[in-house]
Amino acid sequence: DTGVSQNPRHKITKRGQNVTFRCDPISEHNRLYWYRQTLGQGPEFLTYFQNEAQLEKSRLLSDRFSAERPKGSFSTLEIQRTEQGDSAMYLCASSSTGGKDTQYFGPGTRLTVL
C-alpha cells in the first residue's frame, strides 16, 4: 500500500492554457474523489467516481472542468482555458466500499494560474 499519489505536485500555467492532473488511488480502492482547496479554506467536493462511473458532480465543476477514470484505476482532472480563479490545491482521495469507506487523501497538486 503506497497511498494515494498525485502528479504533478506543482503546476504553474498562464491564463487560457489547459492543464491535466493525475491521481493514482490506493490499488484496491474502488471509489475516487476530487476536491479543490483554496487558501485558508477547507476542501470542497468536486466529483466522485465509483469504479469507472462518474456518479456525482458538484456545481463547482464548471464546463471547463472534466474528470475521467477510464479503467476504474487512475483518474485525470483536466481544466480547459484556465482562469486565475482556478488557482488552488487540487486534492484526490480514494476509499473502499469493502471497508469503513474512510477516504485517504493524496498530497495534492498546487495549481497557480498567472
Query: Residues with Cβ < 8 Å from 48, sequence gap 6 or more?
Result: 31, 32, 33, 34, 54, 55, 56, 57
101 binds another protein (CB under 8 A): yes
108 binds another protein (CB under 8 A): yes
56 binds another protein (CB under 8 A): yes
Least Å distance, CB 80 to another protein, is 25
Q: Which three cell numbers stand for residue 72?
A: 476504474
Nearer to another protein, 11 or 18 (CB): 11
Q: Are 2 and 105 in contact (CB under 8 A)?
A: no
Of the candidates 58, 47, 59, 61, which has an alpha carbon nearest to the alpha carbon of residue 92?
47
Nearer to another protein, 28 or 56 (CB): 56
Nearer to another protein, 18 or 51 (CB): 51
59 binds another protein (CB under 8 A): no
Number of Cα atoms under 13 Å in the Cβ half of residue 38: 7
The 10 Å Cβ neighbour count of residue 103 is: 17
30 binds another protein (CB under 8 A): no
Among 4, 32, 79, 88, binds another protein (CB under 8 A): 4
Residues at the site binding another protein, with contacts judged by CB under 8 A: 4, 6, 33, 40-45, 48, 55-56, 89, 91, 93, 100-108, 110
